[in-house]
Structure 1
Amino acid sequence: MPTPRLLIIGLDCMEPSLVFEQWRSQLPHLSRLMAQGSYGRLESSIPAITVPAWSCMMTGRDPGELGIYGFRNRQDRNYHSMAISDGRAVKFPRLWDLLGEAGWQVAVLSVPGTSPPYPVNGSLVSCFLTPSPEVPFTHPPELGQQLRSWMPDFMMDVPNFRSDDKKQILENLYRLCDQRFTLAEKLIVQDGPDFLMLVDMGVDRIHHAFWKPMDPRHPQYEPDSPYATAIYDYYRHVDQRVGSLLEHCDQDTAVLVVSDHGAQPLMGGICINEWLQAQGYLTLKQRPDTPQSLDQVAVDWEQTQAWGAGGYYARIFLNVKGREPQGVVPMAAYEATRDQLIDQLSQLPGPAGCPLKVEAFKPQQIYQKVRGRAPDLIVYFDDLAWRSIGSVGFDSIYAVENDTGPDDANHAPQGLMIFYDPQDPKQGQVLQQAQLYDILPSLLHRYSLVAPAGLRGQQLSW
């Protein structure tokens, strides 16, 4: 058997248009995998964000089934109960769990949704949600000591990547990337796993920090910036690290390169709670003089029908009678209120008065099941080109900057996948209409393993 039999290189947020079109000729290793295998755009989960997208990909379940609707989720029905969802929220087996049950030795490195670490048939290094390397972050625990002996400055993520210290961010990005790929190489040599998966968060972080200097479409484009080629240089570096990692694998190793979503220039923000106030859904007891988080201002809940949360997309929660502590929307009016909101959101214009594409999704219509405390609506502004601003106290419903720190990019609903199987080369086949949910059933089928019942995806002809 080749070592590893299957290698998955996860590149969080890698943008298909940059790899497939704009820079393909400058990315020789990715380009070779594309030419020999299959590749295509990969429709992400809704919402198209790191948490929950990687867990959706690796379980074949959607956010509704997982009960994970974003990085932060409501813990209960109180008004200020949003908290980070870590790996303990994922109740379904992931690809490496299924492979491990089938006797495969696995190595899982920094895949989002694996903090805190848990037992696998092999080794696991937890993800960017790990508070620091001072807490247990590996399985088995002694792997952490070995890892620190290899890399005393081991990083869980790029610290403060939403800041103006661009030089430091760039240094940390490369260190994070190199650590992940070097660790993968060391574990292949030391343990000879049947399966290895790593995820580099650096691609995502560099987009957020350096998109303005790269892209003339950005409203705050910086053409003369010393960082004009920062993203291009990093993609080239990642490509080289992919090539180096493949040299540690056997000729017959199957390789999947995959991103959970794409990226695009951040065109601005829609202040969702300002809009809800203007439409009469949200009432504050006192309006703040400067922008503040909704959690920090006094909301008149007895006069409030709905409130929203910020992020790459908007989440709108209804204040339902008998469900929320001071609910006012009768359950009999629930659907009518949601429909009215959808209709009003669809008419929201852009700042210049031009139409703005707004899509509002009902969780019950887009998910196979709805667990936990789902938002009542999930809203995309212009296919995520505009983000949602949750703070209140703005003099407009449009914002230029993100309210959580400097940010150049937003996510895009399509990631990418490149799959090369030396046993069945496809010579550059382009896959159409592939979804992130298709990855798990396709890989299980490839290795003749029985898929769990109820998976969302289809088998790809890769």
Structure 2
Amino acid sequence: MSSRGKVMVIGLDCAEPSLVFDRWLDQLPNIKRVLQSGVYARMRSSDPPITVPAWASMMTGKDPGQLGFYGFRNRNSYDYADVGVVDSFFLQEPAVWDVLGKHGYQSIVIGVPPTYPPKPIRGHLVSCFLTPDRSVPYTYPSSLAEEIEQEVGEYRFDVTHFRTKPTGELLKDIYEMTRIRFAVARYLIKHKPWDFFMMVEMGIDRIHHAFWHFMDEKHVLHEPSSYKDAIFEYYRYVDGQIGELLSCVSPETRIFIVSDHGAKRMDGGFCINEWLMREGFLKLKEPVRDATSFHPDLVDWKRTKAWGYGGYYGRLCLNVKGREPEGVIPKKKYEQVRNLLIKKLKALTDEQGRHLNTKVFKPTKRYAAIKNIPPDLIIYFGDLYWRSVGSIGMGKLYVYENDTGPDGANHDYEGIFISALNREGRGGKKLERIHLMDMAPTLLHQFGIPPLKGMRGKIIPI
């Protein structure tokens, strides 16, 4: 394939459109140049807007129901304790680079979730932030890891302890992770054959969660701080790294700059299991007086109808007779109980009695298909201004700090989409109604390959 057909996707996990498009665009010259040379849009994320299903959905054109995973952690079976973390083996649908490989095209893939453990591709791959550390195989081919370490240095998949590390040390680690990732990208672009390139940088997600409350004066935890411009300065640094990367490829390369979801301030956490206990849906064997992580061993399952999990969105599961080991809800009452919970959840208020504007949906109503075991209800507390807190023994429904470590931001529904050829041009056209599932068929279209059967996305007019 000639250089004319090369395609580059720069993924910025959690990049927020209100910051990129509205607030800081003039201070992001490299992103601005691409935007003004082509098209851009707010791009609707997956449901839920969570990193692993979102990137997978983007690269397959299929929704989380079709993929069969609904977040980082999913039920492996109907046993109460059988919850596992997603890895690359969960992704059974072909990603864009898999399809391209079958057509003879070479790919470079760096850090796109979920690519750990690394699977063979036609090209070169470095696995994602799910990789535990460098002691495990993290590249394809496996020899690539040693080459990267020799040429670039010690690779970093993520920042460790990003919720609890001292602020200054964390900020330094985020910059170092980003520097190394872009250095690897430039090295591979220059030294490996490729037709399609894609990378995902996790730093924006990490800095949002750790520093948003310093930036946002409306945040419940905001206070004057020397870190108030930390996010802005980091965006400028990433823009500079993008500029260096773009200087390595020809003007005929088609560029995409995208994010899997956006971000917004976190107003607090709603204690889902505390609420279920107060409403009579969840019973414990013994009272819990101190804040404790939810664990199935604490629950009196023979008297429990529902329980939930914490996270950026709420996952509520029903204890159904004949389905769960000690299920109590008759199958004929399943929808009745589910509808009652939806009504109660949508009526939730905050501590001041103001309507919380919580969104609730049934997976069967949102997805084209249902694989594996979804939650019975998916909940966006406070329209995603509130996270779900799964801990019990809190003694209250509302908290203003995350139960799993400090966190100032939640995920939002829309990420960014920008596309242009890598050269100056007249553009800057804003597109409407873009969904991240549109990316896979759009990328395949760049190579003259039609969308695969089952892809929900449409080809974006770029």
The correspondence of residues 407-422 of structure 1 with structure 2, limited to 5 A, is 407-421=407-421
Question: In the aligned structure 1, how far is the partner of 2:164 from the partner of 2:338?
Answer: 37
Equivalent AA in structure 1 for residue 202 of structure 2: M
- CA shift, 1:421, in A, is 3.0
Equivalent AA in structure 1 for residue 212 of structure 2: W
Partner of 1:44: 45
- CA shift, 1:3, in A, is 7.5
Q: Is the 8 A contact 1:38 1:426 kept in 2?
A: no
Q: Is the 8 A contact 1:262 1:414 kept in 2?
A: yes
Partner of 2:61: 60
Partner of 2:307: 307
The correspondence of residues 32-431 of structure 1 with structure 2, limited to 5 A, is 32-223=33-224, 225-295=225-295, 298-421=298-421, 427-431=427-431
Q: Is the 8 A contact 1:219 1:267 kept in 2?
A: yes
* Greater shift in the superposed pair: 1-10 or 68-77: 1-10
* Greater shift in the superposed pair: 420-429 or 349-358: 420-429
Question: In the aligned structure 1, how far is the partner of 2:184 from the partner of 2:292?
Answer: 42
Question: In the aligned structure 1, how far is the partner of 2:369 from the partner of 2:69?
Answer: 12
The correspondence of residues 6-17 of structure 1 with structure 2, limited to 5 A, is 6-17=7-18
Q: Is the 8 A contact 1:56 1:62 kept in 2?
A: yes
SS of corresponding position for 1:231: helix
Question: In the aligned structure 2, how far is the partner of 1:65 from the partner of 1:393?
Answer: 36
Question: In the aligned structure 1, how far is the partner of 2:5 from the partner of 2:107?
Answer: 9
Give the TM-score, by structure 1 length: 0.98
Question: In the aligned structure 1, how far is the partner of 2:363 from the partner of 2:39?
Answer: 32
- CA shift, 1:383, in A, is 2.2
Question: In the aligned structure 2, how far is the partner of 1:402 from the partner of 1:316?
Answer: 19
- CA shift, 1:446, in A, is 2.8
Q: Does the C-alpha gap of structure 1 residues 210 and 121 become closer, same or farther in structure 2, counting only changes over 3 Å?
A: same
Partner of 1:445: 445
Q: 2:461 matched to 1:461?
A: yes
Q: Does the C-alpha gap of structure 1 residues 447 and 423 become closer, same or farther in structure 2, counting only changes over 3 Å?
A: farther
- CA shift, 1:375, in A, is 0.4
Q: Is the 8 A contact 2:274 2:397 kept in 1?
A: yes
Stretches of 4+ moved more than 2 A in 1? 150-153, 421-426
Question: In the aligned structure 1, how far is the partner of 2:441 from the partner of 2:21?
Answer: 25
Equivalent AA in structure 2 for residue 305 of structure 1: K
1:170-195, Cα deviation, whole Å (9 max, x unpaired): 11101111111111110111113111
Q: Is the 8 A contact 2:45 2:413 kept in 1?
A: yes
Q: Is the 8 A contact 2:321 2:328 kept in 1?
A: yes
Question: In the aligned structure 1, how far is the partner of 2:160 from the partner of 2:3?
Answer: 37
Equivalent AA in structure 1 for residue 318 of structure 2: L
Question: In the aligned structure 2, how far is the partner of 1:8 from the partner of 1:383?
Answer: 30
- CA shift, 1:153, in A, is 2.3
1:98-145, Cα deviation, whole Å (9 max, x unpaired): 111111111000101000001100100000111111100000000011
- CA shift, 1:296, in A, is 6.6
Q: Is the 8 A contact 1:3 1:192 kept in 2?
A: no
Question: In the aligned structure 2, how far is the partner of 1:406 from the partner of 1:164?
Answer: 10
1:345-386, Cα deviation, whole Å (9 max, x unpaired): 111101110011111110000000011011000000122110
Question: In the aligned structure 1, how far is the partner of 2:130 from the partner of 2:285?
Answer: 36
Equivalent AA in structure 2 for residue 221 of structure 1: H
In structure 2, stretches of 5+ residues that fail to align are: none
- CA shift, 1:151, in A, is 3.5
- CA shift, 1:453, in A, is 0.6
1:135-160, Cα deviation, whole Å (9 max, x unpaired): 00000000011111124421111001
Identity of aligned residues (%): 45
Question: In the aligned structure 2, how far is the partner of 1:382 from the partner of 1:271?
Answer: 12
Q: Is the 8 A contact 2:281 2:306 kept in 1?
A: yes
Q: Is the 8 A contact 2:251 2:421 kept in 1?
A: no
RMSD: 1.4
In structure 1, stretches of 5+ residues that fail to align are: none
1:61-88, Cα deviation, whole Å (9 max, x unpaired): 1110111111001111111111101111
Q: Is the 8 A contact 1:106 1:193 kept in 2?
A: yes
Q: Is the 8 A contact 1:161 1:209 kept in 2?
A: yes
Q: Is the 8 A contact 2:14 2:260 kept in 1?
A: yes
Q: Does the C-alpha gap of structure 1 residues 164 and 129 become closer, same or farther in structure 2, counting only changes over 3 Å?
A: closer
SS of corresponding position for 2:84: strand
- The number of residues matched between the two structures is 461
Q: Does the C-alpha gap of structure 1 residues 460 and 424 become closer, same or farther in structure 2, counting only changes over 3 Å?
A: farther
Question: In the aligned structure 1, how far is the partner of 2:346 from the partner of 2:452?
Answer: 38
Question: In the aligned structure 1, how far is the partner of 2:196 from the partner of 2:446?
Answer: 14
Q: Does the C-alpha gap of structure 1 residues 424 and 320 become closer, same or farther in structure 2, counting only changes over 3 Å?
A: farther
Equivalent AA in structure 2 for residue 405 of structure 1: G
Q: Is the 8 A contact 1:3 1:249 kept in 2?
A: no
Question: In the aligned structure 1, how far is the partner of 2:193 from the partner of 2:62?
Answer: 30
Question: In the aligned structure 2, how far is the partner of 1:424 from the partner of 1:68?
Answer: 40
SS of corresponding position for 1:51: helix
Q: Does the C-alpha gap of structure 1 residues 47 and 386 become closer, same or farther in structure 2, counting only changes over 3 Å?
A: same
Question: In the aligned structure 2, how far is the partner of 1:178 from the partner of 1:100?
Answer: 29
- CA shift, 1:425, in A, is 6.0
1:274-327, Cα deviation, whole Å (9 max, x unpaired): 111111100011121111111175211000000000000000000000000000
Give the TM-score, by structure 2 length: 0.98
